[in-house]
Amino acid sequence: MYQRILVPVDGSETSQRGLQEAIALARLTGGQLRLLHVVDELSAAMGMSGQGMVSADMFQLLREGGEQVLAAGLAEAQAQSVSADTLLIEGFSGRLCDHVLTQAQHWDAQVIVLGSHGRRGVGRLVLGSDAEQIIRTAQVPVLVVRTATPAP
């Protein structure tokens, strides 16, 4: 059970918590991880020049940042004796949730583990929720790890 664990990562504290939980799960089941990073379209759009073109330098920085996030996650998994590989998806089509769901299907993932801020109300409506879309439409179980709530 849960031999193929898909883990979207972006380098944030939230995704780090998801990665840590995925590593723990893989250690329990003898499973393997696939770490997935998607070069964010919004970030790329923010690097647009006045003519509406994405700066090649900006795109290169986003790609390198994604590679660093994946390398750090891979090193963390391997340090804990967990088998893992990485996949960087880049381009300008689709939402993060769509890429995660497609990769889960193509790789035959048995579970998706992801971190979530757990936004509610207006924050969720304004920002949307990739985690929510993944939970609603994934054809495999989804383990959502919420960011710790700060103490009052």
| CA end-to-end distance (rounded Å), the chain | 39
User: What pTM was estimated for this model as a whole?
Assistant: 0.84
Q: What is the pLDDT of residue 104?
A: 97
> Residue 115 pLDDT more than 90?
no
Q: How far is CA 52 from the centre of its chain?
A: 27
Report yes or no: 42 and 23 within 8 Å, Cβ to Cβ: no
Rounded CA-CA distance 118/133 in Å is 13
Domains in the chain, ordered, with CATH? 4-146 (3.40.50.620)
Question: What pLDDT, in 10s, does the model give residues 66-108?
Answer: 999 999 999 999 999 999 999 999 876 778 889 999 999 999 9
User: Collapsing DSSP states into helix, strand and coil, what is residue 87?
Assistant: strand
Sign of dihedral through CA atoms 41, 67, 57, 46? positive
Q: Average pLDDT in the 108-127 region?
A: 69
Which stretch of 1-5, 20-24, 30-34, 143-147 has the lowest confidence by average pLDDT? 143-147
